[in-house]
């Protein structure tokens, strides 16, 4: 079997995969990073969103071998170094942005990508961005609220650091 190497959450990893192995399978089954979920397997629900070389991708639509040499970040890499929740995760908790939590890892990863390119999005821009992320439970209102709250916190942190 061919092997694949990449950097996941800052750590160099490698493993054997088949040509058809999906990135999400490699992360979940090969590396045990089960925070990345599989909701549909047809590139629609967004539960599997991770960052590949800094941009969000649906890990069910990327072959593991296509991520050779890539920098991958998963939901497990979103916590603070001390293990506490990262800013976006905390905002979801504080604003009741989740119910069952199944969509949440993908929502957080998508939100992180949005906020790195657009630190001050409007509500409309957040809703637009989440087009590829489906939630069965929340009605999206509190998810949008969470992301706007996270954006405000991150902007505050940036100003404080300047």
Binding site for ligand FES (CB under 6 A): 38-41, 43-48, 58, 60, 98-103, 135-138
Write down the least CB distance from residue 37 to ligand FES, Å.
Answer: 7
Sheet containing 3-8: order of strands = 11-16, 3-8, 71-73, 49-52, 55-58
Only one residue has tokens 């590829």, namely: 132
CB of 89 to ligand FES, least distance (A): 14
Q: Which residue lies nearer to ligand FES by CB, 8 or 103?
A: 103
Give the C-alpha separation, 140 to 40, whole Å: 19
Residue-by-residue DSSP string for 89-105 = HHHHHHTT--SS-SSHH
Residue closer to ligand FES (CB basis): 86 or 97: 97
Residue with Cβ nearer ligand FES (100 or 156): 100
* Least distance to ligand FES, CB of residue 64, Å: 14
Nearer residue to ligand FES within complex by CB, 1 or 42:
42
Q: What are phi and psi of 42, to 5 degrees?
A: -125, 25
Select 56 or 138, whichever has its Cβ closest to ligand FES.
Answer: 138
Report d(CA 65, CA 3) in Å as an integer: 8
Q: What's the closest the beta carbon of residue 59 comes to ligand FES, in angstroms?
A: 6
Contact of 53 with 68, CB cutoff 8 Å:
no
Q: How far is the CB of 72 from ligand FES (least distance, A)?
A: 15
Contacts of 31 (CB under 8 A, 6+ apart): 8, 13, 15
Is residue 69 within 8 Å of 46, Cβ to Cβ?
Answer: no
């Amino acid at each position: 079997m061919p092997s694949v190497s990449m950097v996941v959450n800052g750590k160099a990893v490698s493993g054997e995969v088949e040509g058809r192995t999906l990135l999400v399978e490699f992360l979940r089954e090969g590396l045990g990073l089960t925070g990345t979920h599989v909701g549909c397997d047809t590139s629609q629900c967004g539960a599997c969103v991770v960052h590949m070389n800094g941009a969000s991708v649906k890990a069910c639509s990327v072959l593991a071998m296509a991520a050779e040499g890539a920098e991958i970040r998963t939901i497990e890499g979103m916590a603070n170094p001390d293990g506490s929740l990262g800013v976006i995760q905390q905002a979801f908790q504080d604003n009741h942005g989740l119910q069952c939590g199944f969509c949440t890892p993908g929502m957080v990863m998508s939100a992180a990508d949005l906020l790195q390119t657009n630190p001050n999005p409007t509500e409309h821009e957040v809703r637009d961005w989440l087009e590829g992320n489906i939630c069965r439970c929340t009605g999206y209102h509190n998810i949008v609220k969470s992301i706007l709250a996270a954006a405000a916190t991150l902007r505050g942190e940036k100003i404080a650091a300047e």
